[in-house]
Structure 1
Amino acid sequence: MVKQTNYTTTDKLITRITTMIAGLIAICLLIWGIITIRHWYAFEETDDAQVEAYINPVTARVSGFIKEIRYNDNQEVKKGDTLLIIDNNEYQLNREQSVAGLQTSKEQVRALQANIETAEKAAEVNKALIGAAKSKLTRQQQEYDRYKKLLEAESATKEQMENIESELEVATSNYQAAVHNYEVALSKVMDSKAQIAPVMAEINRRDLVLKRTDLDVNYTVVTAPYNGRIGRRTIQPGQQIQIGQTLAYIVDKNSGLWVVANFKETQLHNMHIGQTVNIVADAYPDKEIKGKILSWSPATGARFSLLPPDNSTGNFVKIAQRIPVKIQIDLNDPAQSFLSAGMNANVAVPKN
């Protein structure tokens, strides 16, 4: 006996709806599969990628106690903005001491120049005295010669001759003294001029010391080296810092962001420098970013590790290596405002 099955209208409707849903799911899976396969054949992809940026430390160039801090965590700064101020009382005292030392050396030069002028005037006076003494000596020599002839002719007495001879000796001594005084005056001029050279050298040295102290005073005001964003603050007012100590980290905004994507070595044959790529950050999956390949590493990432693998040790297992590829993001791309260094990303490179 054959059992007869009766389907109600509700059963038929449920069956029809179920069949339609299954068909739609199958169509969607088919479409998704086609898109996925097509994308797989059209692009080289990797999810081993990170956003990078230049992150440089801001260091202290002088030691001292922090007087004031003018930035907060994660603050945007511009080139030249004051980040912190170091107590500069000691450096100001050193500067004033350098200024005083420089002024003292300059006064020494003025004193030496005055001594030179005085010695030159004295030399001029002694030179004039030489001429007067020489004239008197010539006159006395002539008088001596005349009286000598008169004495030989017995027209003058011996006493007169002795007086004339004494006067000639006096005139000779006066002339020699005038010449000596002139030479001494010239020697003082030369000595004063010789003393100027080391004093001028001392002035140059003190001027350099002053410039160095000016630098120290300027270094007590730490400014932002470029436009960027400051990271976490780790210092407090009143804290003592040392030369070279890291005060903060700043992310360079002017240099822009880039992505380092680690592609398998088997994927590189479809890439070239200047090629446009698509970037999607994990934090913003609905925003696609454009970039260009700048370069790729001259060696695999493993070769730059602390202990690079050595396949000649006998435990060789062939593993596809990855090559870091640097991809530059356009500086005018709006992505610059919401991406941060260290974010993970997916990169797709068209197979041209």
Structure 2
Amino acid sequence: MNTTPNKIDKIVVGTTKVIGIGVLCALSIWGISLIMAMLKYERTNDAQVEEYVNPINTKVGGYIKKICFTENQQVNQGDTLLLIDNSEYRMQQDEAEAALENARSQTGILEANIATLKSNAQVALSQIDAAKAKMIRQQQEFKRYQNLLKEESTTRQHFDNVKTALDIAVSEHQATVNAYKAALSKIKDVEAQKLSVLAEIRRRQFMLGRNKLELGYTVITAPYKGKVGKKIIQEGQLVQAGQTMTFIINQQGGKWIVANFKETQIGQFKTGQKALVTVDAFPDAKFNGEIESVSPATGSRYSLLPPDNATGNFVKIIQRIPIRIKLTDQDAKIAGLSAGMNANVSIKKESYE
């Protein structure tokens, strides 16, 4: 009666032993492989996929007229993303163009004035020659009557009349010389005004160029090929210069991994060293990479408030060093990776290479 239960107990005990031995062997194999991997590789799960995620900002303020993209849309370089109402900027450009034309017209008027003043100066110059000839003739007449007076061959009254005529001729000559100098001075004044107007023209040209730039800034385009992120604006919204419209992933900038290794792990790391990457989103896929650079400082040193160990309450904590790993696989293989995905990185130690 008791034989059958004993046999069953023995079978259960034997099966349990076999299962236990199998589990123990599996755990031993797993443990040995884990230890071997730890000896062979430096590993970290503190890693993420990185891409250039840049904001799209507006350079001018205004009301959004039209949004030409949707969230997560693929765009090419130069594609229009949104339009800002440009009515005010177009009016400012028209005003700048009119002011420039007005300044240019002033140069024509000044050039005509300069031509007129030069003609007047030539007339004054010719009058100088005539007055000079008259003065010389009167000087000769004065000398002749002066000799006649000494010889008492003429009257004092006649001599005084000749002297007065000489004084008048000298004054007229001086007056023509002064008139010529005044004409030259006026020419210089107008030429100085012309230089001022030319400077004003250049200033107006710069202002017009600036207005054209601002008018062009009302059309916001994609700076490169990529994928637009979250849309945080609406049509009709008033935006200010410098405000963020959206974000764009720069697909031309490539993808890489930033792995934060412990400071005790990086002693033998060097540029170009091979790395193996797995991503949580694709657990069955393996990605190849190589160390591109090692950060010159720990991650905590780049924080807003870096720790100060001189405060008296120091607790030693193992620091992390950011390692930039370049993905060397084809673009088609890494196309599914997105910025921010968690990754696991293994780097073979030099002694096992």
> Counterparts in 2 of 1:170-209, with a 5 A limit?
170-209=168-207
- Does structure 2 retain, via aligned residues, the 8 Å contact 1:303–1:309? no
Equivalent of 2:252 in 250, 254, 258: 254
Match of 2:307 in 1: 308
299-308 or 273-282, larger mean C-alpha shift: 299-308
> How far off its partner does 1:181 sit?
1.7
CA spacing shift, 1:50–1:164, aligned 2, 3 Å: same
- Alpha-carbon distance in structure 1 between the residues aligned to 2:156 and 2:265: 130
Equivalent of 2:57 in 56, 59, 65: 59
> Counterparts in 2 of 1:235-250, with a 5 A limit?
235-250=233-248
Code of the residue aligned with 1:245 in structure 2: it is: Q
CA spacing shift, 1:127–1:312, aligned 2, 3 Å: closer
RMSD between aligned alpha carbons? 3.8
Code of the residue aligned with 1:183 in structure 2: it is: K
- Alpha-carbon distance in structure 2 between the residues aligned to 1:115 and 1:303: 71
Match of 1:211 in 2: 209
- Alpha-carbon distance in structure 2 between the residues aligned to 1:291 and 1:22: 41
Match of 1:277 in 2: 275
> Counterparts in 2 of 1:331-350, with a 5 A limit?
332-350=330-348
- Alpha-carbon distance in structure 2 between the residues aligned to 1:61 and 1:324: 34
Match of 2:84 in 1: 86
Q: Which consecutive residues of structure 1, in runs of 5 or more, have no partner in the other structure?
A: none
User: Which SS does the other structure have where 2:284 is aligned?
Assistant: coil
Match of 2:327 in 1: 329
284-293 or 204-213, larger mean C-alpha shift: 204-213
- 1:96-137 deviations in whole A, cap 9, x for unaligned? 222222222222223222222221221111111111121122
Code of the residue aligned with 1:70 in structure 2: it is: C
CA spacing shift, 1:2–1:44, aligned 2, 3 Å: same
Scaled by the length of structure 1, the TM-score of the pair is 0.82
Code of the residue aligned with 1:254 in structure 2: it is: Q
> Counterparts in 2 of 1:52-131, with a 5 A limit?
52-131=50-129
> Counterparts in 2 of 1:27-42, with a 5 A limit?
35-42=33-40
19-28 or 40-49, larger mean C-alpha shift: 19-28
Code of the residue aligned with 2:278 in structure 1: it is: V
User: Which SS does the other structure have where 1:192 is aligned?
Assistant: helix
User: Which SS does the other structure have where 2:265 is aligned?
Assistant: helix
125-134 or 189-198, larger mean C-alpha shift: 189-198
Code of the residue aligned with 1:115 in structure 2: it is: N
CA spacing shift, 1:173–1:298, aligned 2, 3 Å: closer
198-207 or 28-37, larger mean C-alpha shift: 28-37
- Does structure 1 retain, via aligned residues, the 8 Å contact 2:289–2:329? no
Match of 1:293 in 2: 291
User: Which SS does the other structure have where 1:273 is aligned?
Assistant: coil
Code of the residue aligned with 2:264 in structure 1: it is: T
State the identity as a percent. 44
- Alpha-carbon distance in structure 1 between the residues aligned to 2:85 and 2:4: 101
> How far off its partner does 1:92 sit?
1.5
> Counterparts in 2 of 1:154-173, with a 5 A limit?
167-173=165-171
- Does structure 1 retain, via aligned residues, the 8 Å contact 2:287–2:329? no
135-144 or 152-161, larger mean C-alpha shift: 152-161
> How far off its partner does 1:329 sit?
1.8
- 1:268-294 deviations in whole A, cap 9, x for unaligned? 234322211011111112221111112
Q: Which consecutive residues of structure 2, in runs of 5 or more, have no partner in the other structure?
A: none
CA spacing shift, 1:28–1:334, aligned 2, 3 Å: farther
Code of the residue aligned with 2:121 in structure 1: it is: A
- Alpha-carbon distance in structure 2 between the residues aligned to 1:266 and 1:145: 116
- Alpha-carbon distance in structure 2 between the residues aligned to 1:333 and 1:35: 32
Q: What is the total number of aligned residue pairs between the two structures?
A: 346
- Alpha-carbon distance in structure 1 between the residues aligned to 2:2 and 2:249: 83
> How far off its partner does 1:47 sit?
1.7
- Alpha-carbon distance in structure 2 between the residues aligned to 1:239 and 1:204: 36
- Alpha-carbon distance in structure 2 between the residues aligned to 1:87 and 1:64: 6
- Alpha-carbon distance in structure 1 between the residues aligned to 2:165 and 2:129: 18
- Does structure 2 retain, via aligned residues, the 8 Å contact 1:52–1:257? yes
Code of the residue aligned with 2:349 in structure 1: it is: K
- Alpha-carbon distance in structure 1 between the residues aligned to 2:294 and 2:47: 13
